[in-house]
Amino acid sequence: MQQNTSDPKNTDAQAISSYKNLNRFSVAPMLDWTDRHCRYFHRLLTKNTLLYTEMVTTGAIIYGKGDYLAFSEEEQPVALQLGGSDPAALAQCAKLGEERGYDEINLNVGCPSDRVQNGRFGACLMADAQLVADCIKAMKDVVSIPVTVKTRIGIDEQDSYEFLCEFIDTVATKGNCEMFIIHARKAWLSGLSPKENREIPPLDYPRVYQLKRDFPHLTMAINGGVKTLEEAKEHLRHLDGVMVGREAYQNPSILTAVDNQLFDEQLPVVNAVDAVRQMYPYIEKELSQGAYLGHMTRHMLGIFQGIPGARQWRRYLSENAHKKGADLTVVEQALSFVTQGE
């Protein structure tokens, strides 16, 4: 976790440099997917990747009965993504997030779902850059960790490059925002489902590259459609960071080589079987506290994609992890399909 310090030697330039490295590669916030069990597993696959929470609304944090900020220290570095549009509420939640140990606070300005729009947050906020700037400034005024924005390249008919530049400029200058994660698709606020909004609007990587050239002083990462580390390396020729979404979840083995290929070639490539076995103590602890096995193993189904025995692994877990009393023996049996040749 990044440590806060009042040491004057810890200059803004040093902080920004460290910050850029933290955001070099990240796993996107994905609702119903990147929960704390998922993040714990992903951390066993990569030590350097920045992991994001699911989007958490300010209302859930302030008024909800559950603990929406819980995570394990082993997951760090972890960024908290907030959904909201009230500067005071966002500031309150950002402060709570910093106190709990999150490394970054991120504002969702990219989700296009109807439910999110009804709460006036997500992608619809692109139409009000000044409000986004106010929200970012309110959070930055009360925390010392980075506050970032995840956004689209446009919404509905407001999808010109000039519109995107005006949005970035306003949020950067009036909100003092230094880091943007750009999903390289526009969002349609009506007519498309959230799933369709992740697939139908065309990707426009060159537009994001141009944005970085026009705002070289800002830290920028790209998101959308990245499926391989080779693609990530190409994006890193133009930008400061890459965020991977569904591929990292559905095929988490992509994360096993991130540390070696994107951070330091001296770091080992993680063995997926070893990572599964390293989950055992966590699984046992969570089961003893009332968690269900299936809530953890559902995030592990794709780890052996392309490996002999992967289909049996997935099938056995899918058929048995949800059963009453399911425990670690289910995982061990499923793993035997993959390790029979060892």
Place of tokens 């299936």: 294
Q: 295: annotated binding-site residue? A: no
β partners of residue 109: 151
β partners of residue 105: 80, 147
Identify the burial level of 20 via C-beta atoms within 10 angstroms of its C-beta, where 0-12 means exposed, 13-18 middle and 19 or more buried. middle
Of 38, 111, 135, 177, catalytic = 111
CA angle 226, 231, 235 (to 5 degrees): 95
Q: 29: annotated binding-site residue? A: yes
Q: 225: annotated binding-site residue? A: yes
Cβ-contact 338, 306 below 8 angstroms: no
Q: 31: annotated binding-site residue? A: yes
Q: 150: annotated binding-site residue? A: yes
Q: 183: annotated binding-site residue? A: yes
- For residues 118 and 65, give the distance between their C-alpha atoms in angstroms, rounded to a whole number: 22
Residues whose CB falls within 8 Å of the CB of residue 203, separated by 6 or more in sequence, listed in order: 184, 185, 224, 225
Q: 245: annotated binding-site residue? A: yes
Q: 227: annotated binding-site residue? A: no
- For residues 13 and 8, give the distance between their C-alpha atoms in angstroms, rounded to a whole number: 12
Give yes or no: 135 in active site. Answer: no
- For residues 91 and 99, give the distance between their C-alpha atoms in angstroms, rounded to a whole number: 12
Q: 223: annotated binding-site residue? A: yes
> Residue positions in the annotated binding site for FMN?
29-31, 81, 150, 183, 223-225, 245-246
Annotated binding site: 29-31, 81, 150, 183, 223-225, 245-246
Q: Catalytic amino acids?
A: 111
